Structure 1
Amino acid sequence: MMGDGTKAILGKPIQLADLIIKATDEAHNFRQECLDLKPKTERLAALLRQAARSDLYERPARRITDDTEQALEKTLSLVKKCRPHGLLRRVLTIIPAAAFKRASTSLDNSIADLSWLLRVSSTSHSDDDDDDIHLGLPPIAQNEPILFLIWEQIAALQTGASLGARADAAASLASLARDNDRYGKLIVEEDGIYPLLRLVKEGRIEGQENAARAIGLLARDPESVDRMVQAGVCSAFAKILKDAPMTVQATVAWAVAELAGNCPNSQDVFAQNNVVRLLVGHLAFETVQEHSKYTIPSKVNSIHSAVLANKDSKESNNAKPPRNADDSLENGNHGHVVARPTMAAKPSRSHNGSLSGVSIRGREFEDPATKNYMKAMAAKALSQLAKGNLAISKNITESKALLCFAFLLEKGTDEVRYNSAAALMEIAKVAEQDAELRRSAFKPTSPAAKAVVDQLLRIVRSEKPEHDDLLVPCIVTLGCLSRTFRATETRIIGPLVGFLDDREEVVLKEAAVALGKFACTENYLHQDHSKAIIKAGGAKHLIQQVYFGEQGVQMAALVLLCYIALHVPDSEELAQAEVLTVLEWASKQAFMVQDPKVEELLHESKGRLELYQSRGSRVLY
């Protein structure tokens, strides 16, 4: 709202209006025209004094005050020319007849502008004052109507007489932000963030949802996100995620995903406000249950066996927790996590405690659609928070989240499964670059990691069409985790090789890239994996893609073929498939050797093959 500095600038326009009123009384020439300007100036002076006593919306107040001051200065200059002067001065002074008409119009416009400003800044109107609410835009808005529409909605957010009016204003701002990125930037620039955050904190359910949705839509611009973070959006969202109606929390979780996805700088601020912990709590609600006397035995092979193991652990008083069991995210709570397929189960009315800091009182009675949407948005938010962030990825994996993701991949709705797969993919990308995270979160003996891998394999080995949208994140995740698998793990290579033929381009490319991570030199088991790829029939598919695939697929297939040739140059299958001929052809294609690393790899793999394969058997293209 308007500060003391803005009110101070109203002093000069008020003085100008008083001078004009006095000058019209002293007018000698064009006296009637001057007297016609007097009542309009008096009306304008009264509005200016009313504005000085009011709490105005600062952004439009400054522009309207500046335009009003200019109009008054021109009017005063005109009226002064009409005062009595010497004969020579009167002869030399020429006043066009249209000048008074222009001055009158300028005063009318300023009166309308100030009336609009006072109206939108007023809290005295009610929701039933339709005639007052729909006054239309002021004359100053003719050149930029959207800006003034935004001002009107922000003013309604700030001074709305009811929460319902403020909720409607937030919905209008959300609609504007959705329609056009420029409108979103204007809303942020015109100080729309603070009243939206205030509504998130103080509004009813509809208002909170509308405000959170508007904030999420405003997050398309990274600079806007920075301003929202500085305004305190992270702490406000954390409070909602801790204790608010689930429909509001789901919208806030979606907004967190938008902010974190468009501005990575906000990730750590969200983490500092415990948003990661709160989101994991929502993910775990009715998915897993934590209790200090329960544990996950090291021989758990699936989500269902985890449930059976939980049953057994209740019957054994001497059961001891394994050394690798996941700890809870709760500070000071070293209890262990157990998977329980409780999403469809009837919840207990007596369970009103807190799961990972999230109040769950009454949430068991939410409808299933709301619960599913909450989990979907929590998983989406976690995927964006973990993206490229080691600390947050580690924080997530040290909680019960991996086990939740595994269970939701198996039992969740389509959106829940996809967002869970996306979150696992982002965490796996970070783990690929950090050996410590790989060892701690995805070691083969970890029950949670094993459950995740089992579900990823279930999806990539499935031929059902409904799983197609999940293939890419699952394939990428398996590739990123390639260095965590033992040589005895034989379930992965075959399904990935199967995607090298007769699949959509994006799936085919990601499968080739993932297999490349198994066969690359950095992978300790590269020779074992390369042999497994050959055994699964990968050579013929790769040759086909190197020759005839799309460019992105060609390069991924070429790199993989080079690694296989480099590590298993004595393979009879490679000799029969004439892989050396393929590599020589590729070395002559300019676009394939643009990358120095690919060119070096191609040269090295060709040299290895030449040591083991006969030159006489090659066919040159």
Structure 2
Amino acid sequence: MGEGVKAMLARPIQLADEVAKQCAAARSFRAECAELKARADKLAALLRQAARAPDLYDRPAARIMAGATTALSRASALAARCARGHPRLRSLFTLSPAAGFPRAVAALDTALEDVAWLLRISSPGAAGDGDDDSLLGLPNIAQNEPILFFIWDHVARLHTGSPAARADSAANLASLARDSQHFAKLIIEEDGVPPLLKLLKDGTDEGQEAAARALGLLGCDAESVDKLVQAGVCSSFAAALKDPPMRVQAAVAEAIAGLADRSSTCQDLFAQNNTVRYLVGHLASGTIQEHSRYSVGSNSSKNTTASPQQPMKSLHSVVLAKTHSMRHTGGDHDTAIHTDEPPRMSNGGEQDAKRNPHMQSVVHSAMAAKTNTNGSFVPPFRPQLGTSGSSGRGAREVEDPEIKAHLKAMAAKALWKLAHNHLGVCKSITESRALLCFAVLLEKGDGDMGTEVQFFSAMAIMEIARVAEHSLVLRQSAFKPSSPAAKAVVDQLLRVVRKGEYDVLLLPCITALGCLARTFTASETRVIAPLVQLLDEREPPVTKEAVVALTKFACSENHLHVNHCKAIVDDGGARHLVQLVYLGDEIQIEALILLCYIALYVPESEELAQAGVLAVLLWASKQAHMVQDTRVEALLPDAKSRLELFQSRASR
């Protein structure tokens, strides 16, 4: 609603006065002209009332004024002929009153109804209290596209309705957007975004939640997301993430995930508005340190003021004591995790520490590493105060556990989508404690949302690993071998891969391990064997991901490719790859590429001779569909010649 539409009222008001004046001066068809004049007077009165209205809904007002102008122009032409007419010339009068006047009167009646409807929806309180679904009548201009009427009505209620009515209209707009992309685009075109943003800022809890869901659904494609970004949705979502209630924050996090998934243009803006920080804060709360607020490490940590750590008589002190004990007894922090029981951040800290002492020690080590940066402490994150004046932590403690779990799952999902192919977001995530959070959540999840948050955590780790694969800086900062958080992540990825169950977690964990291939040292011998085991008669997607992951260990870009190729052969990978090249169908080429790397770097291996690798390479060189692949064309001749040389020498 705006002032621009009032400029449109001048022309129809002038026309209405002109029609009334012409009808009063009519010399023929005076009865019909009197009826026409009555309609024109009523329409002029309504138009002047509209001009005095504080706000008018622009989108329908423009159409209504155009229709009223057309109707008044036709009525004016008809009245002008009657005013100029003469009784003696009536026989030459070509106008047919039976057809002309009824049509003009009907057109003015339509304009009257439409203007009256516009005034009703633009009046504060006209939308009612929202307890029912009563609508304010169907305007005639929406007869050809009735959905416009529903959109206009609900957008108007967002402006002028009571808090309950606004929440109800936001929920209805969300439902329309969910049903059809066409409806979502219509809502954006009909100026539905600004009132939804306003409702997200100052509405009731139900209204804010409904507005967040609606805005997330309106971004149905890249073009729509761009329009939402231009309207200021990024800063509004970031502000909503700071304050309770958690159900609103969960809806906002889910909306952020949807927008980031459909368009990459919003990732930078979300990062600039500290969205990543707030999402990681929700992810970390209750996950890695129960009794202290989450604090985000930053590049400016050198300049932060030292603040002493507060003593805690809970799980943190238990973990601290356990860590000191392990250090004095020479405990190995790098041993694999053999239990599926995750750390439970609860008051029963001693029991939880006994369940999984390894993860507890990793948690403490990562917390200490993040807290102490270059001799200074990272200041704790101060809880934000909500509009009611209560702190975010206090509000969090009284929330339903299911809502807490849902918020954590949606925060993980949003971070997954924001991290996709974006180095800046990945650096922000890894500079915080999010990697440790993902490791803890991947182990068992969180409450009733366990499987969901596990999946989102695995996908987030996979996206960060994909970016790290092509970024040396990110690999060195986030996945250095001495990092406790990186160790925890790798432990959990290996746990899922060793388990080998074909579920939603397996594929992203395999992919993540492959992308991190260049971060492992020569002493890290745990990774290859679980991946090789997945080559033996597994589901095709699992086998393909395992082959691709192992190829990243064996390729020339990996400086430890010789070590990794030997490990693949020692774990029995050659015979599995031979079978896959012969019978692997869609993964034949991927298996052949890995086999070529192995033949290049460990051609003297007796296991290759026993598996018949040379025969496989000779057979593959005669397969047209294989040699047409550029990667095979570059690798196969050298691999075949190297294998022929060493195996022929061994046979003499």
Q: TM-score range by the shorter chain?
A: 0.7 to 0.9
1:143 counterpart residue number: 144
Assess, with a 3 A threshold, how the Cα gap between structure 1 residues 130 and 219 changes in structure 2: closer, same or farther.
closer
Which amino acid in structure 1 is aligned with residue 10 of structure 2?
G
SS at match of 1:220: coil
Matches within 5 A, 1:204-603: 204-289=204-289, 293=309, 300-301=333-334, 304-305=356-357, 309=361, 325-327=369-371, 334-335=377-378, 354=383, 359-412=392-445, 413-464=450-501, 468-551=503-586, 553-603=587-637
Is there any run of 5+ residues in structure 1 with no aligned partner, and where?
314-320, 338-351
Shift of 1:153: 1.1
TM-score by length of 1: 0.87
Assess, with a 3 A threshold, how the Cα gap between structure 1 residues 132 and 600 changes in structure 2: closer, same or farther.
closer
Shift of 1:359: 3.1
Assess, with a 3 A threshold, how the Cα gap between structure 1 residues 580 and 105 changes in structure 2: closer, same or farther.
farther
- Contact 1:545 1:557 (8 Å CA) reproduced: yes
How big is each residue's C-alpha offset from its partner over 1:268-292, in whole Å with a ceiling of 9 and x where there is no partner? 2112111111111111111122595
Assess, with a 3 A threshold, how the Cα gap between structure 1 residues 74 and 606 changes in structure 2: closer, same or farther.
farther
1:48 counterpart residue number: 47
- Contact 1:283 1:401 (8 Å CA) reproduced: yes
1:155 pairs with 2:156: yes
Assess, with a 3 A threshold, how the Cα gap between structure 1 residues 427 and 130 changes in structure 2: closer, same or farther.
closer
- Contact 2:366 2:485 (8 Å CA) reproduced: no
For 2:105 and 2:131, the matched residues in 1 are separated by 30
For 2:152 and 2:282, the matched residues in 1 are separated by 37
Assess, with a 3 A threshold, how the Cα gap between structure 1 residues 503 and 104 changes in structure 2: closer, same or farther.
farther
For 2:119 and 2:622, the matched residues in 1 are separated by 74
Assess, with a 3 A threshold, how the Cα gap between structure 1 residues 81 and 322 changes in structure 2: closer, same or farther.
closer
SS at match of 1:143: coil
Assess, with a 3 A threshold, how the Cα gap between structure 1 residues 90 and 325 changes in structure 2: closer, same or farther.
farther
Shift of 1:149: 1.6
Assess, with a 3 A threshold, how the Cα gap between structure 1 residues 46 and 594 changes in structure 2: closer, same or farther.
farther
- Contact 2:497 2:510 (8 Å CA) reproduced: yes
Shift of 1:145: 1.5
How big is each residue's C-alpha offset from its partner over 1:513-568, in whole Å with a ceiling of 9 and x where there is no partner? 111111111011111211222222222322333333342x2332222222222222
Which amino acid in structure 1 is aligned with residue 357 of structure 2?
S
For 2:93 and 2:542, the matched residues in 1 are separated by 85
For 2:382 and 2:508, the matched residues in 1 are separated by 35
Shift of 1:242: 1.2
How big is each residue's C-alpha offset from its partner over 1:61-89, in whole Å with a ceiling of 9 and x where there is no partner? 11111111111111211222222436669
SS at match of 2:281: helix
SS at match of 1:521: coil
- Contact 1:505 1:550 (8 Å CA) reproduced: no
Which amino acid in structure 2 is aligned with residue 446 of structure 1?
S
1:127 counterpart residue number: 128
For 1:19 and 1:607, the matched residues in 2 are separated by 97
1:340 counterpart residue number: none
Which amino acid in structure 2 is aligned with residue 450 of structure 1?
K
For 1:308 and 1:356, the matched residues in 2 are separated by 31
2:642 counterpart residue number: 608
Assess, with a 3 A threshold, how the Cα gap between structure 1 residues 81 and 274 changes in structure 2: closer, same or farther.
same
Judge which range, 487-496 or 395-404, deviates more.
487-496
Assess, with a 3 A threshold, how the Cα gap between structure 1 residues 603 and 77 changes in structure 2: closer, same or farther.
farther
SS at match of 2:219: helix
Shift of 1:10: 0.7
For 1:584 and 1:223, the matched residues in 2 are separated by 52
Is there any run of 5+ residues in structure 2 with no aligned partner, and where?
293-306, 310-315, 338-342, 344-355
Assess, with a 3 A threshold, how the Cα gap between structure 1 residues 464 and 559 changes in structure 2: closer, same or farther.
closer
Assess, with a 3 A threshold, how the Cα gap between structure 1 residues 153 and 239 changes in structure 2: closer, same or farther.
same
Shift of 1:477: 0.7
- Contact 1:157 1:165 (8 Å CA) reproduced: yes
- Contact 2:130 2:165 (8 Å CA) reproduced: no
For 1:421 and 1:508, the matched residues in 2 are separated by 19
For 2:362 and 2:565, the matched residues in 1 are separated by 39
1:93 counterpart residue number: 94
1:26 pairs with 2:20: no
How big is each residue's C-alpha offset from its partner over 1:476-531, in whole Å with a ceiling of 9 and x where there is no partner? 11001001112222221121122223333322221111111111110111112112
For 2:163 and 2:212, the matched residues in 1 are separated by 15
Shift of 1:442: 0.8
Judge which range, 486-495 or 90-99, deviates more.
90-99
For 1:282 and 1:65, the matched residues in 2 are separated by 49
For 1:356 and 1:50, the matched residues in 2 are separated by 44
Assess, with a 3 A threshold, how the Cα gap between structure 1 residues 92 and 585 changes in structure 2: closer, same or farther.
farther
- Percent identity at matched positions? 57
Shift of 1:353: 5.7
- Contact 1:292 1:335 (8 Å CA) reproduced: no
CA RMSD of aligned residues (A): 3.1
SS at match of 2:377: coil
2:114 counterpart residue number: 113
How big is each residue's C-alpha offset from its partner over 1:145-195, in whole Å with a ceiling of 9 and x where there is no partner? 1223212111111111x1110000100110011111121112112211111
For 1:336 and 1:554, the matched residues in 2 are separated by 54
Which amino acid in structure 2 is aligned with residue 256 of structure 1?
I
Shift of 1:253: 0.9
For 1:196 and 1:482, the matched residues in 2 are separated by 46
- Contact 1:324 1:446 (8 Å CA) reproduced: no
Shift of 1:323: 12
Assess, with a 3 A threshold, how the Cα gap between structure 1 residues 181 and 128 changes in structure 2: closer, same or farther.
closer
Assess, with a 3 A threshold, how the Cα gap between structure 1 residues 129 and 226 changes in structure 2: closer, same or farther.
closer
- Contact 2:438 2:489 (8 Å CA) reproduced: yes
For 2:132 and 2:246, the matched residues in 1 are separated by 37
1:6 counterpart residue number: 5
